[in-house]
Amino acid sequence: MLANLVQLADKVAKAAEKAIPFKQECGDIRSKVEKLSDLLRQAAMITYELYEPPTRHIFWDTLNILNKALSLLLKKRIFIIIPVSAFSKTSTKLQNSIGNFSWLFRISSLHDDNQYIGLPPIAANTGMIYHIWEQMAILRTGSPKDRSDAAASLMSLADDINFYTCIIILEGGVVPILKLMKEGNTKEGKQTAARAIALFVSDIAADKQVVSFICEQISILHTDSLEDRSDAAASLVFLANESDRYGEMIIEEGGVGPLLKLMKEEGNYQGRENAAKAIRILKPINSAIILNTNATIGTQEDLSLCTNIRTPVHFIREKRINKHNVFGKLYESNQISEIV
């Protein structure tokens, strides 16, 4: 695609160079096409670094503008009357393309200058979509505080309008938000990410990505360092605390056993505390699973670690137990949830 754009830009520049009538206007077009051509060549060198969602739109928009510019310049050769304003409009569109690529380079390699990047010219009629892309780019490469602010911004949009929720999901916003919840340096940032993810709970595509994330965290509970196990348990706490559905996912994917084992782990106070919080949140969802799993790996006293942690109000309810398979054991649905 970029190679075709570069070739097309060169054709436009040559056509403008050969112009006899409207020489001044064509000279302006040529100057801007050459600037655009330089940006296209830069983009070709760093294609893998460019932020993909807006890149597609900017490429296609530029292709359309260059084709129209070439068509305008070739019309002069067949003696078609052309208004001067046509050259002015073409020049403006080429300048906008230059602005689009400059914005794309900035958004693809953010710096910690705490400056608002703004929106590109192409966003004139679809500004909110580009605002979403900007926030998603910050989630990828911004500072910890900026990433937290970006997640809060996306959460606000998704909470207000379902259409924006769909855009965030379709354009790949779920993964960087999950990454923030895993790697964020502050509790506030992780909580913000979890709240944002909770808004996507009814979407099948988002659910698949969340399940993959949950499986990754459960895997870490089995094998990684003390700190990593503690962080993984904390991520599960944030997810389960925001949605029953995510709590059910944790149970279904076999997270109960590793969390109960982490509660017994010596020398890992933070990990034990995080695991206890997770179990406390999960127990109202399916107490039978937790009690039965605990019986296979420890004693009833192990659950005393989570008795002093307050259960969120939205989890306090009586619920029939679904069938689950934990360590190969099926538990029948006629059991009643037990709330500590």
Q: What single letter denotes the amino acid at residue 180?
A: L
User: Hey, what are 146's tokens?
Assistant: 């900026």
How far apart CA 120 and CA 139 sit, in angstroms, is 19
Say whether pTM exceeds 0.85.
Answer: no
For residues 154 and 173, is the Cβ–Cβ distance under 8 A?
yes
Neighbours of 141 (CB within 10 A): 16
Over the Cα atoms of the chain, what is R_g? 28
Neighbours of 89 (CB within 10 A): 13
How far apart CA 235 and CA 280 sit, in angstroms, is 14
Neighbours of 7 (CB within 10 A): 13
pLDDT by residue, tens only, the chain of 340 residues:
788 899 999 999 998 888 767 788 888 999 999 999 999 999 888 877 887 778 888 999 999 999 999 988 887 655 666 788 888 999 999 999 999 999 888 887 755 454 556 778 888 776 688 888 888 888 877 788 888 888 899 888 888 778 888 888 887 888 888 888 888 777 888 888 888 888 887 677 788 888 999 999 999 988 768 888 888 999 999 998 888 889 999 999 999 888 988 888 777 788 889 889 998 888 888 777 767 766 665 544 444 444 443 333 333 233 323 333 332 332 233 332 332 2
For residues 100 and 38, is the Cβ–Cβ distance under 8 A?
no
Predicted confidence at residue 327, as pLDDT, reads 28
Q: Count of alpha carbons within 13 Å of 80, Cβ hemisphere only?
A: 11
Q: What is the DSSP string of 125-150?
A: S-HHHHHHHHHHHHHHHS-HHHHHHH
Predicted confidence at residue 181, as pLDDT, reads 85
How far apart CA 12 and CA 297 sit, in angstroms, is 73
For residues 124 and 58, is the Cβ–Cβ distance under 8 A?
no
User: Residue 190: what are its φ and ψ, rounded to 5°?
Assistant: -70, -40
Predicted confidence at residue 110, as pLDDT, reads 54
Domains, the chain: 2-108 (1.20.930), 128-330 (1.25.10)
For residues 141 and 110, is the Cβ–Cβ distance under 8 A?
yes
